[in-house]
Structure 1
Amino acid sequence: MTRALLVGGTRFMGRHTVEELLTHGYEVTTFTRGESGTPFADRDGVTHFEGNRNDREALEAARNEVEPNVVIDFCVMHPRQIAAATEIFADADAYVYVSSGSAYAEQPIPTREDATLHDCTQEQADDESMESYGPRKAECDRVCFAAAADGVNAMVVRPMLVYGPYDYTERYDYWLHRVAEYDRVLVPGDGDSLLHRAYALDGARALRIVAERGTPGEAYNLADCETMSLGTSLELAAEALDTEVELVHASERELAKHDVSSLDFPLYAPTPHLVSTEKLASLGWESTPLSEAVAKTVEEHLESDRTGEEIGPNRGTEETIIADLTD
């Protein structure tokens, strides 16, 4: 039986990856600090190793106990972390690092894996802020490539914005809650904001496929094969909820009257970012149809207590702007 060690793996895409691996006959161990609990406490085929990924001895102990064939690393945030991990797991059949579409400095449409990545200063490499997130992830990619050049079976997967069941970020929940609860929803701009997304269950399948079939030293973009604008994602949500909703559009000028910006809304992107998924598809991967992906996301949202209300404009402000625009 193939043994997989997931560094991270108890939340969101990691959670789906555990299920994906179990379905395909893997024996799975998650390595986390244990702070957010584990949904797999009573699952056959899943064990947990508690430790801090910054503790080299803990990672080495997990390696020695599990002897993993496959390592999937979800929680690399600094180049020093991936440098240590690619040394510790150098003998694994596959080490898959979960990077980000934010690593790209240039974003041609579509963005292919050989597009220019961000530079990263030493100060950025050690930083913790979101401002340095893209440069840090880009530098982690380069460390991974260097390890592959030295003989480690290391590969990079670059997801775009991930959505789906159990999304603790609540970015899409903000909008799903609005569509489920109200007849009119305020949308920045014309609703055509286009940021390529990746359905979490497809991401889980992609990580398994890359581990099994990917080429060391390569990067693979991860995103839906179809794209949906912000407006389309709300229309699909309304369809899944079997409801009707009026999308009320507001320009930047109209929002500014109420001290609101388009950037205050989750999932809004001022410029489109679309990536090519051709390399991943060449390994036999394909994505879930958008209507099905959104319906599954909506189904889990309704069972949760997530509303996303803390991460966007409050409903009172939204209703005031809607009234100004429609009354």
Structure 2
Amino acid sequence: MDTALVVGGTRFIGRHLVSDLVENGYDVVIFNRGNHDNPFEDDARVRHVEGDRTDDGALRSANAAVEPDAVFDCVAYKPREVVAATEIFSNADAYVYVSSGAAYGAEEIPKREGITELCPCSDDQLTDDSAESYGPRKAEGDRVVFDAASRGVDAMSVRPTIVYGPHDYTERLDYWIDRVENYDRVVVPGDGTNVWHRAYVEDVATALRLVAEEGEAGTAYNVGDRRALTLEETVHEIADAAGTDVEVVHAGERELAAAGLSGDDFVFYRDYPHLLDTSELAALGWDSTPVGEAMARSVEDHRDADRDGAEHDPGRDAEESVLSILDTL
């Protein structure tokens, strides 16, 4: 495969994917509305076609102009968009849909492709934009991919769990980095052993390319760090990367409630573990970046960026109340 079309391509996962594709010798075209700064504007190796991915006519025009060997769909959020894309790009050697670990509808440890049940998707959820329908919509997109593959389309799905790393506009990890870099004591809900599997963004990009090159049509591939961290381990990895020391303070449900908080107020906290089996992807030759390296790059990027994770902040005053309560016990 020589030519890749990336639907999206300028913000986070797509941005890293474009870089990975260029480094691996692809001619790359990004297709988006141009609403965000294009980091590849001055890179002659990356062309830009402007258009709205919800406009089927614009997608057809891009397909005719580019004739891509591989298509990477980073911004398909509704099943009808996947239906259109699998039809329009049916002649490509690979169509790779970026799904999500949120597509899984059953709580199992670990969640496995083809085994763990996917979320159902109601008629109302098909067109809904809420966070609550995100997993069901991604699951339905997966089912569209499988159906297309049954009709001869070389369509595959990649399911990343929570993605982190440089240029992460969600700022989820930035909240914890900001806490570690600014406070000696960091409140962690529960006993610190909860697991919400995460995936380093550069590894997600590599996985997408590898699935296009080596994956099997009609197959989904989970992506997540080969070493999954507990929340407490995450805080300590950040501290190591930042070159600082921090005390992790565990806060139970009662202490949090006394300060008007709950575990759900803390990003990356999840009561039941969320862990994806990544052996199918590893069988294609994929591996993940060591967590220490990934965290060091994330901390360096945080320091260079204007991000602090404030929208995920449960309130330092409330946390100080929790610390005061715990200090009296």
Q: TM-score range by the shorter chain?
A: over 0.9
One-letter amino acid matched to 2:245: E
Q: Which residue is equivalent to 1:97? A: 97
Q: Which residue is equivalent to 1:166? A: 167
Q: Which residue is equivalent to 1:251? A: 252
The Cα of 1:304 is off from its aligned counterpart by 0.8
The Cα of 1:47 is off from its aligned counterpart by 1.1
Q: Does 1:201 align with 2:165?
A: no
Per-residue Cα deviation, 1:95-138 (whole angstroms, up to 9, x for no partner): 00000011111132111101111111111111111111111111
Residue pair 2:194, 2:273 contacting (<8 A) in 1 also = yes
Q: Which residue is equivalent to 2:27? A: 27
Q: What is the CA–CA distance in structure 1 between the aligned matches of 2:149 and 2:131, rounded to whole Å?
A: 27
One-letter amino acid matched to 1:60: R
Q: Which residue is equivalent to 1:86? A: 86
The Cα of 1:168 is off from its aligned counterpart by 0.4
Q: Does 1:184 align with 2:185?
A: yes
Q: What is the CA–CA distance in structure 1 between the aligned matches of 2:66 and 2:315, rounded to whole Å?
A: 47
Q: What is the CA–CA distance in structure 1 between the aligned matches of 2:230 and 2:130, rounded to whole Å?
A: 28
Q: Does 1:294 align with 2:295?
A: yes
Q: Which residue is equivalent to 2:71? A: 71
Q: How does 1:213-252 map to 2 (within 5 A)?
A: 213-252=214-253
Q: Which residue is equivalent to 2:278? A: 277
Residue pair 2:259, 2:319 contacting (<8 A) in 1 also = no
One-letter amino acid matched to 1:217: G
Q: Which residue is equivalent to 2:119? A: 118
One-letter amino acid matched to 1:135: P
The Cα of 1:325 is off from its aligned counterpart by 1.6
Q: What is the CA–CA distance in structure 1 between the aligned matches of 2:218 and 2:47, rounded to whole Å?
A: 29
Per-residue Cα deviation, 1:236-259 (whole angstroms, up to 9, x for no partner): 110011100111111111111121
One-letter amino acid matched to 1:190: D
Q: What is the CA–CA distance in structure 2 between the aligned matches of 1:77 and 1:103, rounded to whole Å?
A: 12
One-letter amino acid matched to 1:76: A
Q: Which residue is equivalent to 1:315? A: 316
Q: What is the CA–CA distance in structure 2 between the aligned matches of 1:58 and 1:19, rounded to whole Å?
A: 24
Q: How does 1:10-49 map to 2 (within 5 A)?
A: 10-49=10-49
The Cα of 1:86 is off from its aligned counterpart by 0.4
- SS of 2:311's partner is coil
Q: Which residue is equivalent to 2:129? A: 128
Q: What is the CA–CA distance in structure 2 between the aligned matches of 1:268 and 1:139, rounded to whole Å?
A: 26
Moved over 2 A (4+): none
TM-score norm. by structure 1 comes to 0.98
Q: What is the CA–CA distance in structure 2 between the aligned matches of 1:258 and 1:61, rounded to whole Å?
A: 56
Q: Which residue is equivalent to 1:268? A: 269
Q: What is the CA–CA distance in structure 2 between the aligned matches of 1:269 and 1:234, rounded to whole Å?
A: 15
One-letter amino acid matched to 1:140: G
Per-residue Cα deviation, 1:63-116 (whole angstroms, up to 9, x for no partner): 111111110001111111000000000000100000001111113211110111
The Cα of 1:43 is off from its aligned counterpart by 1.0
Q: What is the CA–CA distance in structure 1 between the aligned matches of 2:160 and 2:326, rounded to whole Å?
A: 37
- SS of 1:198's partner is strand
One-letter amino acid matched to 1:278: S
- Give the unaligned 5+ runs of structure 1: none
- Give the unaligned 5+ runs of structure 2: none
- SS of 1:17's partner is helix
The Cα of 1:300 is off from its aligned counterpart by 0.7
Q: What is the CA–CA distance in structure 2 between the aligned matches of 1:307 and 1:100, rounded to whole Å?
A: 25
Identity %: 53
- SS of 1:208's partner is helix
One-letter amino acid matched to 1:25: G
Q: What is the CA–CA distance in structure 1 between the aligned matches of 2:14 and 2:91, rounded to whole Å?
A: 22
Instruction: Figure out how many residues of one structure are paired with residues of the other and give that number.
Output: 327
